[in-house]
Amino acid sequence: MIPERLPWHGPQWLRIERSIRSGRMPHAILLRGARGNGKAMFASRLAAELLCGSNAPPCETCESCRLCAAGSHPDWIEVTLEPDRREIVVEQIRDLVHSVGLTARFGRYKVVIVNPADLMNRHAANTILKTLEEPPGATVFVLVSSNPAQLLATVRSRCQMIDFPLADPGLAVEWLHGKVPEPGAALALAHGAPVRAVELWSSGLIEVRSRLDRDLDELLGGGDPTAVAARWKEFGRATVAWWLTEILADRLRKSVNVSTNPVPGVRGPRQVSCLLPMLDRCLEVRSGVLGRTNANEQLVLERLAFGIARESARSRGCRSVGSTPR
């Protein structure tokens, strides 16, 4: 499917259209900005528009558009992270350089999308440099990055930057209507990034969040940590730690005004102060996940649940919640 032009990308499209009209389409652009804001959709839509042979691209009926929609256009080259890899490697870039050197099958543009470009390792980034500077024929490189500072300066300097600031909330909520049940709440959970909000909803993660929110209330109310940890097993420690960090950070932010605006599960200043050590425990699990520590999954979840329960009991003045699993 060819993605739509997103309503909050008006200025960025205007800039591209001006370049195309004046015959000065840059041969390398870097789309940079917050994650989940639609940069990848912009890149795909741009590819389809450049490759379409009609006067009103994308016409969605020509052969080029049909191939774009099917994801099999021979002049559209995409490089991304391969499964089980943490970086884009030099072999991928060598293949890309080879493909760019071949004649465009449709005789128009060749479009290369590298996303996330900042995950090219040093060797890969050095290999792409020369082609990026002098691409053969009418090739357009579209690099996409939410962490542009991680890109080699020499790569950045060969690209024209296009910034993608966070979407206007009004436009974003309007766009989210019909895509997610509670657009405002979903947008807030995605930190203002509308495409991320749709991803969170469609992958079921928003539902996971509300279940973890209830589990946290249960632990704060003196519930059984073993039973809670058993329920967490289906989500895995990465998801649990990630969402609990978000939930606790959110509660901490709101708790600044706890006396006038009570937070569920947080009944007073003593309980507010117990949120910080809980947050620390979640962050510990998160860094363990990132460091790929080979810990027993269930044990990690139980320790986390017991840790939270213990901090909560301490703040309520209780003495014990049972012994932590070893």
Q: Is 55 helix (H, G, I), strand (E, B) or coil?
A: coil
Give the phi and the psi of residue 30 in degrees, each rounded to 5: -120, 115
- Other residues' Cβ atoms within 10 Å of the Cβ of residue 80: 15
Which positions from 39 to 58 touch Zn ion by CB under 5 A, shown as an x/- string?
Answer: -------------x-x---x
Distance CA 29, CA 37 (A): 17
Q: How far is CA 63 from CA 43, 68, 105, 106, 251, in A?
A: 20, 9, 12, 10, 53
Of 108 and 179, which has the nearer Cβ to Zn ion? Answer: 108
Distance CA 175, CA 117 (A): 27
- Does the protein bind Zn ion through residue 103 (CB under 5 A)? no
Of 3 and 236, which has the nearer Cβ to Zn ion? Answer: 3
**Shortest reach from residue 74's CB to Zn ion, in Å:** 15
- Does the protein bind Zn ion through residue 249 (CB under 5 A)? no
**Shortest reach from residue 67's CB to Zn ion, in Å:** 10
**Shortest reach from residue 61's CB to Zn ion, in Å:** 6
Of 49 and 118, which has the nearer Cβ to Zn ion? Answer: 49
Half-sphere exposure at residue 255, Cβ-oriented, CA atoms within 13 angstroms = 19
- Does the protein bind Zn ion through residue 216 (CB under 5 A)? no
Of 62 and 173, which has the nearer Cβ to Zn ion? Answer: 62
**Shortest reach from residue 48's CB to Zn ion, in Å:** 8
Tally DSSP H helices, then E strands, for the chain.
Answer: 14, 5
**Shortest reach from residue 111's CB to Zn ion, in Å:** 14
Instruction: With CA atoms as reference, report the closest residue to 234 among 301, 308, 306, 325.
Output: 301
**Shortest reach from residue 144's CB to Zn ion, in Å:** 23
Give CA torsion, residues 142, 146, 147, 149, to 10 deg: 60
- Does the protein bind Zn ion through residue 59 (CB under 5 A)? yes
Q: Give the residue, chosen from 62, 166, 238, 295, that forms a contact with Zn ion under the rule CB under 5 A.
A: 62
Q: Give the residue, chosen from 6, 29, 65, 100, that forms a contact with Zn ion under the rule CB under 5 A.
A: 65
Binding region for Zn ion (CB under 5 A): 52, 54, 58-59, 62, 65
